[in-house]
Structure 1
Amino acid sequence: MIDLLVAGGGPAGLATAIHAAQSGLDVAVVEPRPTPIDKACGEGLMPHGARALAALGVQLAGHPLLGIRYLDHQRQAEARFRGGPGLGVRRTLLHSALAGRVRQLGIPVLPRRVEDVHQDGERVYAAGLQARYLAAADGLHSPIRRQLKLSQGGVDPWPARYGLRRHYDTAPWSAFVEVHWSERAEAYVTPLSPHRVGVAVLTGARAPFADLLADFPALRDRLPVDAAGPVRGAGPMRQRVRTRVAGRVLLVGDAAGYVDALTGEGLSLALTQGAALVHCIRAGRPDAYERAWHRVTRRHRLLTQALLWARHQPGLAPWLVPAAVRLPWLFSVLVNQLA
């Protein structure tokens, strides 16, 4: 019987497995899909995410990110990261690098699918294996979370939002992550390499990528006519979870709940949550993970919820970028609270 079985071989699952192996636990990963797995995401790591990646022993070339820039049709505000650069990197390259570190540590990755999860007071049974604990890292719409009835019920007062992402072969014109604001959407531009940028559009509107990009004429005119790849989408982004612990099963990454991609912290949080999970398992206190998860995600959740609330207020939303311009010190504080 192994110490920890990780269900899901995406960045959150592989990072959790690496943390477990580095802590001396016997760990295995089950993932039926071949690596790397691509999906819609902003592909930017905040500085603390870049540091977390280095702590896992993963060395990765990407594009340094110096800060965040907000833009509307008339003005812009920017804030530099004070604690070192972030990192813009293709999700597939990040995933391959994490998978390489997993192989280096000798962690088995089994091409299996978790169909059912059963547990008793001493172990968890899943995918034909037995483990002391199971880390469910099976994504935004986690089947394990659904099976264990860990999602929060009731009517969600927030409108559903979706994310679309596409790549363009063009030299980045800035080392900042640009966040362009329009009435119905936000467009994130992340430098990924000397010759490529990623553009992610977040919106509550169900519209084609090209139609949404037309909301940002200055950005659209900077981009090549032909994209470097297909549009990938995800959503609805908000996933409410009532608890992240069910006996010996613990949720991590997007499976543990998600607010919105508005602050661009998804990948960074995926890399850091696993450390808290492994710490609780090593201490024999899986129940302590719920509080630990709230602690490591609190700042992100509060700032994201506040920004999302303002985004949904017709009288406030048009003032978000002007406020950042008029109060640059406050914008810098908020950006570096996330960073």
Structure 2
Amino acid sequence: MKSSPGLMAAAADPVAPVPQACEVLVIGAGPAGTACAQSLARAGFDVVLADQQLFPRDKVCGDGLIPDAHRALERLGVLDEVLAHARAATHVACVGPSGGRVEVPAHLAVLPRRELDEILRLSAIRAGVRWLAPARFDAPLLDPGQQVIGARLALPDGAPRVPHALRARWTVLATGAASVPLNSAGLCTRRTPSGMALRGYVRNDAMAGRIKGLDVVWHRALRRGYGWIFPCAGGVFNIGVGITHSRADVPDVNLRELFATFTRLYAPARELMEGGEPLGPLKGAPLRCSLDGAKWSRPGLLVAGEAAGSTYLFTGEGIGKALETGMLAAQAIAEGRDQRLGDAQVRARYEAALHALKPRFDAYEQANRINNHPWLADLLIWRARHSESVRKRLSGVIEETHTPRNLVTAQGLLRMLLPSA
């Protein structure tokens, strides 16, 4: 997937000396890391943002920006720039196993992560963040009392990479779903992922006017997950499949076979692939969901974004909540400085903020029953097609004004069947 010429031109970074110390070291330049770094730089902190890859870089994702992401991007001051590059959409098209379809209105956009993350990174640099890449996180630096005082990073100066110690008052780990960095930091409580996804990009100009919303497809052959087609700008589509699962029930699924099944059983997906031009290979990635799988902090260190499990289990959406957790980490650190709080108080504030988000993540975990039992999607779609009230409830789930838990409880299902609902 190619970035726009403007982004590519802006991506050239001046050569800077490798930093030795900073106030805050943020490791990982995805949405959580860049949101945290930019917020702290605006508050006057000396921040280093490090990533193991040079930018712009590709990232496996559905690329959908739902309303919580829009709100977070607006707080960061980049929403207009993001929307200028994105493909806007006005609905999610939900398609059930029996072929029923309902379009749920919402404020949406699609922008490949290669472009979104570069916009966020450049915005952080403009705010005063110092950039360091490629720099792989190896382990935390510890003082005699086992408090984190920075990190050991591997820099590309020959082979093998040369270790570099970068000291920091605070370290924020925003390294995504990979378990290795969490394990190295002594924070991993679950090595297996909460889900897996596989996606590719396809250019098909003939279908650009046909698929205008975000298609999400449930089917018995896709049990435990779903397929999707999300339209990007320029006649390009993000197409993929994902599965989710509980800690104790990790399925043995071949995602490439699942993708082939999706493109065979869903006619628009089949037409998209048969008449389109693939833009690179299919790529897969793990998911960490439900704010589960890692400790959220240790002395001197906070965990943000998907490393903390900031992806919704039911939908696999995580950009908005990753941005939010990054800003919450920045807020806790800034308040700690301004109010002269101790390490334990800062960490307690941050963890309390994540705990406040947990009920919503738990609701999405309960709604994940729809992925496990696709007939529920048929029921919801059938009812929504005949009820404006139900469509509004589904729209409210996307807008975060309604909880998805009510979609799958016994009472919620009964309401769906009532003519007055």
Query: Which bin holds the TM-score, normalised by the shorter protein?
Result: 0.7 to 0.9
Kept in 1: contact 2:65–2:108 (CA 8 A) = yes
2:371 matched to which residue of 1?
A: 311
> Against the structure 1 CA distance between its residues 187 and 153, is the aligned structure 2 distance closer, same or farther, given a 3 Å change threshold?
closer
Deviates more, 1:127-136 or 1:317-326: 317-326
Matched residue type, 1:80: P
Provide the alpha-carbon RMSD of the alignment. 2.7
1:51 pairs with 2:38: no
What amino acid maps onto 1:114 in structure 2? F
Partner-residue secondary structure (3-state), 2:54:
coil
Decide whether the 8 Å contact of 2:33 with 2:49 is kept in 1: yes
Q: Give the number of equivalent residue pairs.
A: 332
TM-score with structure 1 length normalisation? 0.87
Cα distance per residue 1:282-335 (max 9 Å; x no partner): 122122111112324542x13320221342247646535334445323323322
- Max Rg structure: 2
Say yes or no: does 1:289 pair with 2:350: yes
Match of 2:114 in 1: 92
Q: Do residues 104 (structure 1) and 126 (structure 2) align? A: yes
Secondary structure in structure 1 of the residue aligned to 2:398:
helix
Identity in percent: 25
Q: How many Å separate the matches in 2 of 1:201 and 1:174?
A: 17
Mapping for residues 72-221 of structure 1, pairs under 5 Å: 72=96, 73-81=98-106, 85-111=107-133, 112-120=135-143, 124-127=149-152, 128-152=165-189, 161-170=195-204, 171-183=208-220, 184=222, 185-203=225-243, 205-208=253-256, 210-221=259-270
| Aligned residue number for residue 334 of structure 1 | 397
Cα distance in 2 for partners of 1:224, 1:207 equals: 16
| C-alpha spacing 1:213/1:246, structure 2 compared with 1 (3 Å) | same
**TM-score after normalising by structure 2:** 0.71
Consecutive unaligned residues in structure 2, runs of 5 or more: 1-20, 153-164, 244-250, 337-345, 403-421
Q: Residues 118-163 of structure 1, C-alpha deviation per residue, up to 9 Å, x if partnerless? A: 3347761313111111100111014332123323359x8xx96320
Q: What's the secondary structure of 2:201's corresponding residue? A: strand
Q: What's 2:90 paired with?
A: 66
1:280 correspondence with 2:332: yes
Per-residue CA distance 1:16-43 (angstroms, 9 max, x = gap): 1111112222110122311122122110
Q: Secondary structure at the match of 2:278?
A: coil
Q: Flag structure 1 segments of 5+ consecutive residues without an equivalent.
A: none
Tell me, yes or no, if structure 1 residue 15 matches structure 2 residue 38: no
SS at 1:138 equivalent:
coil
SS in 1 for 2:226: strand
Deviation at 1:113, TM superposition (A): 2.0
Amino acid at match of 1:63: R
Over 3 Å counting, the alpha-carbon distance change for 1:280 and 1:309 in structure 2 is: same
Comparing 320-329 with 51-60, greater Cα deviation is found at 320-329
Give 3-state SS (helix, strand or coil) of 1:129's partner: strand
Q: How far 1:231 moved relative to its partner?
A: 0.4
Q: Which has the higher contact order (CA 8 A, sep 6+)?
A: 1
220-229 or 24-33, larger mean C-alpha shift: 220-229
Report what 2:382 is aligned to. 322
- 1:44 is displaced (CA, Å) by 0.9
2: CA distance, partners of 1:55 / 1:309:
33
